[in-house]
Amino acid sequence: MGLLKYILIIAGAALAAAATARAGEDVATPAMWRAADADTEVYLLGTFHILPKSLQWRTQALETAFEKSDIVYFEVETDAPDSQPKTLGVLMTEGFNPDGALLSDMLGAPDAASLREIVASLGLPFEGVNPMRPWNAFLTLSVQFIIQQGFDPGAGVDSKMLAEARTKGKSIRFFETIEEQLALFTGLSPETEKDLLVLTIRDWEHQAESFDDLFTAWRTGDTAAIDGEMNRVMRDQAPAVFERLLVERNRVWADEIERIMATDTGAVFIAVGAAHLVGDRSVQSMLAGRGIEFERYGDAPAAANDNAPAAPDEIGDLLKAVGEN
C-alpha cells in the first residue's frame, strides 16, 4: 500500500498521533453529506485512512447509501498490483537528496538535534532518514508515528470500502492516480518542503494531544473541529502546502462531481479524506457556488456538537537498506 494514502488524512504540519481508541470510544459516526437533483444522488463520506482495528464506523446511514450506489469514487487505487512498486520506486529515485546532501546539514543545529531525537523515538535508523529529501522525511516520520500508536493501515475506511466495492461488483472510479498523489510532494519547491519538515519537528511534542483531538473530531462527526485540527495549522503556517494538498485538489474533484450531477443517473458514493469536506475551501463550498447544495446526511454526531508507503516492517527495512548503501 502506498505511503500517500495514510498521510493525506492529516495533510500537513499539524500531524500528530494518538493511542488506539480509548475505552468507550470504539464507535464512530463519520460525517456524511448528500446532494440530489431529479435523477442523481451524490453521497460524500469523510474518511480516516488508518484506524484502530476495533473501531466500529459503519453506521446504518452509511450502509444504506453505499448499498444503493452503483458507482463508488475513491481518491486513488491503492490496491492495484503496481501501487506499492510505483510508490517505492518514486521514494527511492526522488525521495533522497542529490549529491549525498544530508538533512542534518540543511537544518539549523537545534532542528537537526531534534530530528535525531525524533527518529530515535520512532525506532528508525538515523542514517536512513538523514539522506532523505525533507518531504520524504516528513512523510516517513508522520506515518511511522501513527503506526507506532497502534493504528492499522488495513483498518482504514478507504481500504475496507474499496475491497467491499470490488466484491459487490460496483463501478469503481478514482479521482487521482498514484503518480499524481506522489507528485503532490515531489513537486514541492525546496523551500516549501523544508518548511514542512521544520514545522513538523518544532511541533512534535504536541503531536499526541493534537491527533487525539483530530481523531475524536472525526469519530464524532464534528466538522468544525475537523477543520481546526486538520487544516488550520497548514492553512496558517504552510499556505503553499494547503493550496497544493487541499484546495487545488478540491477544485478538480468539484469539477468531477458537477459533471456527475449533470450526466450520471442513480446514486453515487464518494469516499475521500475528511479534510477535503470541511471548512470554507471544501468541495461542498466550491459546489455551492455552482448551485449544487450538499446537506448533512445520516446519523447525528456521536458527541454533543454540530459539527504506505510500505507497512511498518517495510519502512524499517527500506531505511536500513538506505543506511547501508
Domain positions in the chain = 3-14+24-324
The residue that leads in pLDDT, 313 or 309, is 313
Per-residue pLDDT band at 25 (split at 50, 70, 90):
low
Does residue 310 surpass a pLDDT of 50? no
Predicted pLDDT of residue 301: 55
Q: Could you tell me the strand order of the sheet in which 171-174 lies?
A: 171-174, 71-74, 266-273, 40-47, 32-36, 295-296
Backbone φ, ψ for residue 156 (5° rounding): -65, 155
Note the pLDDT of residue 307.
38
Give the mean pLDDT of the chain: 82
pTM for the model stands at: 0.81
Query: pLDDT tens, 7-22?
Result: 434 332 222 222 333 3
In tens, the pLDDT along 89-101 reads 888 889 999 989 9
Q: Are 184 and 245 in contact (CB under 8 A)?
A: yes
**Which pLDDT band, with edges at 50, 70 and 90, does 40 fall under?**
very high
318 pLDDT band, cuts 50/70/90, is very low
For cell 487541499, name the residue.
246
